[in-house]
Amino acid sequence: MKSEKFCLACNAELQGRADKKFCDPHCKSAYHYEKDRRENNFFLKVDRQLKINRKLLRAFNKAGKATVRSQTLIDRGFDPSYFTHYWKNNRGEVYLFVYEYGFLSKIENGKKKYILVTWQPYMEK
Protein backbone atom coordinates (compact mmCIF):
# COMPACT_ATOMS: atom_id res chain seq x y z
CA MET A 1 0.00 0.00 0.00
CA LYS A 2 1.45 3.33 -1.11
CA SER A 3 0.91 6.37 1.13
CA GLU A 4 0.50 9.73 -0.57
CA LYS A 5 2.83 12.52 0.53
CA PHE A 6 2.36 16.23 -0.07
CA CYS A 7 4.72 19.21 -0.31
CA LEU A 8 4.96 21.06 3.02
CA ALA A 9 4.83 24.45 1.24
CA CYS A 10 2.28 24.20 -1.57
CA ASN A 11 0.52 20.92 -0.70
CA ALA A 12 1.16 19.42 -4.16
CA GLU A 13 1.46 15.64 -4.35
CA LEU A 14 5.09 14.53 -4.20
CA GLN A 15 6.69 12.15 -6.68
CA GLY A 16 10.02 10.40 -6.17
CA ARG A 17 11.90 9.48 -3.01
CA ALA A 18 9.98 8.31 0.02
CA ASP A 19 11.60 10.92 2.31
CA LYS A 20 10.94 13.89 -0.03
CA LYS A 21 9.29 16.87 1.70
CA PHE A 22 9.17 19.57 -1.00
CA CYS A 23 8.34 19.52 -4.70
CA ASP A 24 11.14 21.92 -5.73
CA PRO A 25 13.83 24.23 -4.28
CA HIS A 26 11.50 27.25 -4.49
CA CYS A 27 8.94 25.57 -2.19
CA LYS A 28 11.68 24.54 0.23
CA SER A 29 13.00 28.11 0.42
CA ALA A 30 9.50 29.61 0.78
CA TYR A 31 8.61 27.15 3.55
CA HIS A 32 11.71 27.96 5.62
CA TYR A 33 11.31 31.71 5.07
CA GLU A 34 7.73 31.58 6.37
CA LYS A 35 8.73 29.32 9.25
CA ASP A 36 11.38 31.81 10.37
CA ARG A 37 8.90 34.67 10.08
CA ARG A 38 6.25 32.82 12.10
CA GLU A 39 8.69 31.94 14.87
CA ASN A 40 9.39 35.66 15.40
CA ASN A 41 13.10 35.14 14.85
CA PHE A 42 15.20 37.29 17.19
CA PHE A 43 17.53 38.47 14.43
CA LEU A 44 14.62 39.52 12.22
CA LYS A 45 13.12 41.46 15.13
CA VAL A 46 16.40 43.31 15.78
CA ASP A 47 16.91 44.03 12.08
CA ARG A 48 13.35 45.34 11.73
CA GLN A 49 13.78 47.72 14.70
CA LEU A 50 17.17 48.96 13.47
CA LYS A 51 15.58 49.81 10.11
CA ILE A 52 12.78 51.71 11.84
CA ASN A 53 15.26 53.61 14.05
CA ARG A 54 17.48 54.52 11.07
CA LYS A 55 14.52 55.70 9.01
CA LEU A 56 13.30 57.98 11.83
CA LEU A 57 16.75 59.40 12.62
CA ARG A 58 17.27 60.13 8.93
CA ALA A 59 13.86 61.79 8.58
CA PHE A 60 14.36 64.09 11.58
CA ASN A 61 17.98 64.98 10.83
CA LYS A 62 18.02 66.63 7.41
CA ALA A 63 20.80 69.15 8.12
CA GLY A 64 23.36 66.88 9.80
CA LYS A 65 22.54 68.04 13.34
CA ALA A 66 19.15 68.51 14.97
CA THR A 67 17.39 68.43 18.34
CA VAL A 68 14.12 66.53 18.78
CA ARG A 69 11.99 65.67 21.79
CA SER A 70 12.48 62.01 22.58
CA GLN A 71 8.76 61.38 22.85
CA THR A 72 8.28 62.56 19.25
CA LEU A 73 10.54 59.75 18.00
CA ILE A 74 9.24 57.14 20.45
CA ASP A 75 5.63 57.83 19.42
CA ARG A 76 6.63 56.94 15.85
CA GLY A 77 8.20 53.61 16.84
CA PHE A 78 11.77 54.57 17.76
CA ASP A 79 13.41 52.33 20.38
CA PRO A 80 16.68 53.79 21.76
CA SER A 81 17.83 50.42 23.09
CA TYR A 82 18.51 49.25 19.51
CA PHE A 83 21.70 50.71 18.04
CA THR A 84 24.72 49.44 16.08
CA HIS A 85 27.66 51.24 17.73
CA TYR A 86 28.58 54.25 19.85
CA TRP A 87 31.02 57.14 19.90
CA LYS A 88 32.29 59.00 22.97
CA ASN A 89 33.29 62.66 22.56
CA ASN A 90 35.95 64.63 24.50
CA ARG A 91 33.40 65.64 27.17
CA GLY A 92 32.54 62.00 27.85
CA GLU A 93 29.11 62.14 26.18
CA VAL A 94 28.15 58.90 24.47
CA TYR A 95 26.37 59.09 21.13
CA LEU A 96 24.55 55.93 20.13
CA PHE A 97 24.48 55.24 16.39
CA VAL A 98 22.15 53.35 14.11
CA TYR A 99 24.50 52.87 11.17
CA GLU A 100 25.45 56.42 10.10
CA TYR A 101 22.84 58.30 12.19
CA GLY A 102 23.51 59.01 15.85
CA PHE A 103 21.66 60.37 18.85
CA LEU A 104 22.57 61.67 22.30
CA SER A 105 20.01 61.71 25.08
CA LYS A 106 19.87 65.03 26.99
CA ILE A 107 17.49 66.72 29.39
CA GLU A 108 16.89 70.38 28.55
CA ASN A 109 14.39 72.52 30.45
CA GLY A 110 13.05 69.41 32.19
CA LYS A 111 12.27 67.67 28.88
CA LYS A 112 14.08 64.63 27.51
CA LYS A 113 15.50 65.34 24.05
CA TYR A 114 17.76 63.69 21.52
CA ILE A 115 20.54 65.53 19.76
CA LEU A 116 20.75 63.95 16.31
CA VAL A 117 23.99 63.82 14.30
CA THR A 118 25.43 62.04 11.31
CA TRP A 119 28.66 60.08 11.35
CA GLN A 120 31.72 62.22 10.58
CA PRO A 121 35.26 61.19 9.54
CA TYR A 122 36.80 62.61 12.76
CA MET A 123 34.74 60.08 14.76
CA GLU A 124 36.83 57.19 13.38
CA LYS A 125 39.48 57.50 16.10
Q: Could you report the per-residue pLDDT of 72-103, keeping only the tens digit for each? A: 999 999 999 999 999 999 999 999 999 999 99
Q: Could you report the per-residue pLDDT of 16-31, keeping only the tens digit for each? A: 998 999 999 999 999 9
What pLDDT, on the 0 to 100 scale, is given for residue 36? 76
Q: Could you report the per-residue pLDDT of 54-72, keeping only the tens digit for each? A: 999 999 999 999 999 999 9
What pLDDT, on the 0 to 100 scale, is given for residue 1? 46
Judge residue 15's burial from the number of C-beta atoms within 10 Å of its C-beta, 0-12 exposed, 13-18 middle, 19 or more buried. Answer: exposed
43-79 CB burial, b ≥16 within 10 A, e <16: eeeeeebbebbbebbeebbeeeeeebebeebeeeebe
- 99-108's contacts with Cβ under 8 Å and 24+ in sequence apart are 99/50, 99/54, 101/54, 101/57, 101/58, 101/61, 102/57, 103/57, 105/70, 105/80, 108/67
Spatial distance between the Cα atoms of 114 and 125, rounded to a whole number of angstroms: 23
pTM of the predicted protein model: 0.71
Residue 77, phi then psi, degrees to nearest 5: 110, 5
